[in-house]
Chain A
């Protein structure tokens, strides 16, 4: 088992995770656990024993630690990556669905407001719609990150800056 520290990669660092490496895997795992869908190489990972770790730690403290074994690496490649991709597709579908329905609701409400004699019709609640889609997003994106945290023993580090 190897433990990695995952840092936010500085835009001007000139460093990226080596494609296909365990470091890249650790960064992707942290990205999934964060639930933020950041772009590739937003994070950079180093094994704890790596000499860069202490230096990086000085520049900016680690945000996550991730543990990877050969067995969990295989689960990541064979199952989780595809599941993450599909969960993101559900997120995208939720956004598309939400946008389309919200626009239609606004047009319906506008048509009632603009009428002379049908303003008694009940307008639709955009807030209720937002809540509904927020619930969908939580439901669709909860399981995978939670399981990923568990499998890879992801730890979060909270830093308080003065």
Chain B
């Protein structure tokens, strides 16, 4: 298990991590878990047991700490992107479903409202994709996944990013 601190890379710093290096992957993990708005090469990873890391902590530069093993690095490189893509697709499908149903139900609600013999019933009261998925406990896939990753990488926030 190796522990790293992640710090912001200075804009004028000529140093970047080598492609495929552990440090580069850690910056990608940190970007994801911090929800860092910029690209991952705006970050730098440094081993936690170095003087540079100690200095970064003292200067309050460190954004977070992350611990990795070969196995968890492999997991990031091979599995996480696929699962994250699947979660994003699920959320898109859910939003699309809600929109499609909203529109059709809105029309049906209106027809009921304007009728003489069918008033008093609003179909959309009983049909909601978000509501039903909430009841099924699957509206928060992304949150659950992020929590799993945070635990796997022993992710700790050290300094809140400023807006």
Contact = CB atoms under 8 A, between A and B. Distances in A.
Contacts of A104: 86, 89-90, 92-94
A150 B144 CA distance: 49
Given A83-B118, A87-B108, A117-B79, A107 B136 contact: no
A116 B90 contact: no
Interface string A85-99: 011011011101110
Interface residues of A, number: 45
Classify chain B: how many residues form its interface, as a range. Answer: 35 or more
Among A112, A114, A118, A132, chain B packs the most CB atoms within 10 A around the CB of A118
A121 B144 contact: yes
Interface of A: 75, 79, 82-83, 86-87, 89-90, 92-94, 96-98, 100-101, 103-105, 107-108, 110-112, 114-118, 120-122, 124-125, 128-129, 132, 135-136, 139-140, 143-144, 147, 151
Interface of B: 71-72, 74-75, 78-80, 82-83, 85-87, 89-90, 92-94, 96-98, 100-101, 103-105, 107-108, 111-112, 115-118, 121, 123, 126-127, 129, 132-133, 136, 138, 141, 144-145, 148, 152
